[in-house]
Chains A and B, each alone.
Chain A
Amino acid sequence: MVRRYFPVAGFAGLVVAIQLATHFTGNSYHLTQLTMTAYYSLVIVGLCMLIGYAGQISLGHAGFFAIGGYVSAFLTTCDLKPYDGPFLSLLEKSGAVVSRQDFYGGSLLTVHPWLACAAAILLTVAVAYLVGGPVLKLKGHYLAMATLGIGIIVYRIVLGTDFLGAADGISEVPGFPLPAGLVITGDSALRVSNYYLAWGLVILGMILLLNLIHSRVGRALAAVHGAEDAAGAMGIPTARYKLHMFVLSAVFASLAGVLLTHYNGGIGPSEAGVMKSVRYVAIVAIGGMANLWGALTMSLVLNYLSLRGYFGTYDDTVFGAILILIMLFAPDGLLRRHLLSDLKRLVSRRDPEEEAP
């Protein structure tokens, strides 16, 4: 039970070590990319959960990321002034609508980021439920193509819709206020606190997922992954578990989209692009399909390198090549221990504490 959290503590130590290292070497500007990496990692661990533990591929997660980012960005930047009335002033008193200044000093009346975030998550859940039902009935090529299709539809919509900024995307997105005076924003003065906020959130997400894996649900998912028909015959509602995992990982992606948009102060259509989805899958694949820590580590390394521009114009090529090489030579991923023994351990191990009366 406690052993499960050792890697968590280790990772938290790594996060602190990286921050200290950047502080003492005077490279603290690297923290900006590392913070963005954290938000992308949130997508990755959610997707890893879906691919590795529920056995369902999704090539459309950039779409969910974009739904989160765009809804939040749109609601926090659109001006509600023209609709001013008793209803709106009521909302303003309750704090749901806030007035703030835009870039040029003009005053705007916009939705509060928390409310926008809630709306984004709700929309994601609705979309994921709606498409997840029929999509998850498919397998193999068909599932890959259908999820890819969903991603492309989102991409086309954000690219072709004027009020979403078309090809320019949405900018001037305000920061995301948190309790205790913290705020998620790209302001360089708040770089360190934002770094810890982002990675803290990732670690929180990891704890949630680790507990899920080691729970009844996790064991059921392992059974679904191993032999879906047999699991169904055992009385596990396979379709429902798959759908719930799909929605959960979509919410992870969407939340990452919301927060990264507030951090960056904007979002563009490229975030919804097919290459982004492919990149997420590539990182999950290289980390080991059913290995949350592997995926997280690879995400930290690759996203950071990519965001720092180490791959230059060959960025997409690098991820394409990674995909091919991994699938050809090490389909279980690089950071993978023995798949079979892992599954066995997952299925047969019982925590002594849970068995105690």
Chain B
Amino acid sequence: MTYGTIYAIVAIGFNIIYNATGIINFAQGEFVMLGGMTAVTLHQFLPLPLAILLAVVITMIVGAVIEIVFIRWLHKPSVLRMVIITIGISILIREISLHIWGEGVKALPYFTGSSVSSINMGGVYISWQVLWVVGIGALAVAGLTAFFNLTMLGRQMRACAANRDAARLCGIDAGNMVTLSFVLSAAIGAIGGCVVCPITYVQYDSGTPLAIKGFTVAILGGLGNSTAAVGAGMILGILESFSIWVLPTAYKEAISIAILLGILFVKPSGIFGSAEAARLKEF
């Protein structure tokens, strides 16, 4: 469940940018890592809630800077170019983090209770932090849905995603919307990074595997569909935990990628996606 939620959060980050720009941001996992890392560092001299808040803000700024520096001025770049650029960005962030934080594994303390305390829910013992992860994950999805459907800004973003030229005619600044989508997905990633950090720990290179699993989940749920991503995240999380019973733990990551490949081969529109919507996309 915990892992499923974090995969879903990464997948939602993918979806936000994909919906606004049609780009898959391969550096999405790095946002999660950055969020966790910054929070750990800030927690050394700030109280936990403040440290997390500041970490999210910093990651948002990083997201905005990335968009402004690398993406904004490219006009109609080819997909291959964007893929390679975002992979390059993810490598840069990872290497910079390595030089800032070193190779060590870091963690935040549990938000409430400790790693051994747990609560009894219908006979199953669940750690407090798991509840935090699931709760905040749910809150993030609900918040995003509300943002996209209820606020003016959210609606403008959706308009840009649907038809950028038409949106521009209506007086919406499409460029800023793309920046905003990077900021939003950076924020979602950073929040996710902070809440799972006490359980999964964080390391300079923990971004890439997360990005791959997030992508798997995004594909599994149908690219662009955030609600489906949550369901798909749970499915992948559960499948992964079961795979440990059958195969050595070392192969855990290979499982999710095998699932990704399987889905890509059989039904690239995702299990929850409609074939009709898929026809409009480029595979």
- A binding-site residues for B, Cβ under 8 Å: 57, 59, 131, 134-135, 137-142, 144-146, 148-150, 152-153, 156-157, 159-161, 166, 274-275, 278, 281, 285, 313-314, 316-317, 319-324, 327-328, 331
Q: In whole Å, how far is B120's beta carbon from the nearest beta carbon of chain A?
A: 36
Nearest CB of chain B from residue A288's CB, rounded to whole Å = 14
Contact of A278 among B91, B258, B260 (CB under 8 A): B91
4 additional contacts, CB 8 Å, given A140-B283, A156-B257?
A: A131-B261, A144-B80, A145-B24, A153-B258
Residue on A with the closest CB to B79? Answer: A140
When distances are taken between beta carbons in the complex, the residues of chain B under 8 Å from A157 are 251, 254
B141, CB-defined interface residue at 8 Å: no
List 24 A-B pairs, Cβ < 8 Å: A131-B261, A134-B264, A139-B79, A139-B282, A140-B80, A140-B83, A140-B282, A142-B264, A144-B83, A144-B87, A146-B260, A149-B261, A153-B254, A156-B251, A157-B254, A160-B250, A160-B254, A278-B91, A285-B84, A317-B91, A317-B95, A317-B96, A324-B85, A327-B84
Contact residue range for chain B? 35 or more
Judge whether B212 is part of the interface by a CB distance below 8 angstroms. Answer: yes
Q: Are the C-beta atoms of B283 and A324 separated by less than 8 Å?
A: no
Please measure, in the bound complex, the distance between the C-alpha atom of A145 and the C-alpha atom of B260, giving whole angstroms: 9
Residues of B within 8 A of A331 (CB): 77-78, 81
Name B residues whose Cβ lies closer than 8 Å to a Cβ of A: 24, 70, 74, 77-81, 83-85, 87-92, 94-96, 99, 208, 212, 215, 219, 248-251, 253-254, 257-258, 260-261, 264-265, 268, 282-283
Q: Are B88 and A327 in contact (CB under 8 A)?
A: yes
CB-based contact A57/B80 at 8 Å: yes
Bound Cα distance A320, B89 (Å):
7
Question: Shortest Cβ distance from A133 into chain B, in angstroms?
Answer: 9
A322 to B78, CA, bound (A): 18
CA A137 to CA B265, docked complex, whole Å: 8
A320 touches which of B91, B248, B249, B254 (Cβ 8 Å): B91
Q: Are A281 and B268 in contact (CB under 8 A)?
A: no
Closest CB-CB distance, B103 to chain A, in whole Å?
11
A327-B254 contact in complex given A148-B212, A150-B261, A152-B212, C-beta closer than 8 Å: no
A57 touches B91 (CB 8 A): no
Most buried by A among B78, B90, B92: B92
Residues of A within 8 A of B80 (CB): 57, 140, 144
- A278 CA to B90 CA, complexed, in Å: 11
* A234 CA to B41 CA, complexed, in Å: 61
* Cross-interface CB contact of B92 among A152, A156, A317, cutoff 8 Å: A317
Q: How far is the CA of A257 from the CA of B92 in the complex (A)?
A: 27
Asked whether A328 and B261 contact (CB < 8 A) given A139-B283, A140-B80, A140-B283, the answer is no
In the complex, residue of chain B having the shortest beta-carbon distance to the beta carbon of A147: B261
Tell me whether A320 and B84 are in contact (CB under 8 A): no
Docked CA distance A134–B80 (Å): 19
Q: How far is the CB of A330 from chain B (nearest CB, A)?
A: 11
Smallest CB–CB gap between B159 and chain A, Å?
Answer: 23
The CA of A145 and the CA of B185, in the complex, are separated in Å by 20
Distance of B98 from chain A, by nearest CB (Å): 8
Q: Do residues B70 and A324 form an inter-chain contact, with CB atoms below 8 A? A: yes
A139 to B82, CA, bound (A): 13
Contact B83 A141 (CB under 8 A): yes
Chain B residues near A161 (CB-CB < 8 A): 250
Q: Are A138 and B83 interface neighbours, CB within 8 A?
A: no
B171 to chain A, nearest CB (A): 30
The answer for the CA separation of A142 and B80 in the assembled complex, in Å, is 10
- Taking the closest CB of chain A, its distance from the CB of B73, in whole angstroms, is 9
Least CB distance from A323 to B in Å reads 4
Of all chain B residues, which has the CB nearest A325? B88
- Cβ contact within 8 Å between B88 and A146: no
- Of B88, B94, B208, which is in contact with the most chain A CB atoms at under 10 Å from its CB? B88
Q: Is the CB of A160 within 8 A of B88?
A: no
With A and B bound together, what is the CA distance between A275 and B92 in angstroms? 12
In whole Å, how far is B99's beta carbon from the nearest beta carbon of chain A? 8
B283 is contacted by which of A142, A153, A156, A159 (Cβ under 8 Å)?
A: A142
